[in-house]
Amino acid sequence: MNAWYEAEIRWAVMEAGKQGLREWKDGVYFFISESRDAAFQRALEIGYRECEVHEEDGKPVETRLAQIVSLACLGTDRAEFRVPLEVKRATERLPFEHAFDPEGLTPLDVF
């Protein structure tokens, strides 16, 4: 039976010469798969698809698949699911009586 999966994928950005590893790039992908093994293979396909090679200042720079950090089955027949994010400590002070206005705020357009 098909189920939704979430995969966190990590790439290493490598620069030729002394620099070597320059940075890590992580991404989270959601997709439908028939089994955990098939989902792992799909995550690998996605990871390899995003690899690239280019030059900067005459030096080769490669983005290489490093690992599938996590793979989670989110369930079947779901129209929605929650992806927990990190908890952030508040940097501002608000009194208990503060009234939020979510209808009055426009969401960010991230794409």
- The Cα–Cα gap between 53 and 62 comes to 4
Q: How much is the pLDDT for 82?
A: 72
- Residue 97 lies inside a defined structural domain of this protein: no
Could you read off the pLDDT of 8-28 as tens digits, one per residue?
999 999 999 888 999 999 999
- Residue 84 lies inside a defined structural domain of this protein: no
Q: How much is the pLDDT for 51?
A: 96
Residue 28 CB neighbour total at 10 angstroms:
11
Could you read off the pLDDT of 79-109 as tens digits, one per residue?
776 767 777 888 998 889 989 888 898 888 7
- Residue 20 lies inside a defined structural domain of this protein: yes
Given strand 3-15, what is the order of strands in its sheet? 20-33, 3-15, 59-75, 52-56
Task: Dump strand ranges (E) for 1-111.
Answer: 3-15, 20-33, 52-56, 59-75
- Residue 110 lies inside a defined structural domain of this protein: no
- The Cα–Cα gap between 29 and 93 comes to 35
Write out the residue range of the structural domain in which residue 63 sits: 3-75
- Residue 52 lies inside a defined structural domain of this protein: yes
- Residue 103 lies inside a defined structural domain of this protein: no
- Residue 68 lies inside a defined structural domain of this protein: yes
Could you read off the pLDDT of 26-78 as tens digits, one per residue?
999 999 999 999 999 999 999 999 999 999 999 999 999 999 999 999 888 77
pLDDT at 111 over 70: no
3-state secondary structure of 40: helix
State the pTM of this model. Answer: 0.73
Does 111 or 50 have the greater pLDDT score? Answer: 50
Q: Which two tokens stand for residue 19?
A: 């620099």
Domains held by the chain: number: 1
- The Cα–Cα gap between 31 and 3 comes to 8
Q: How much is the pLDDT for 88?
A: 85
- Residue 47 lies inside a defined structural domain of this protein: yes
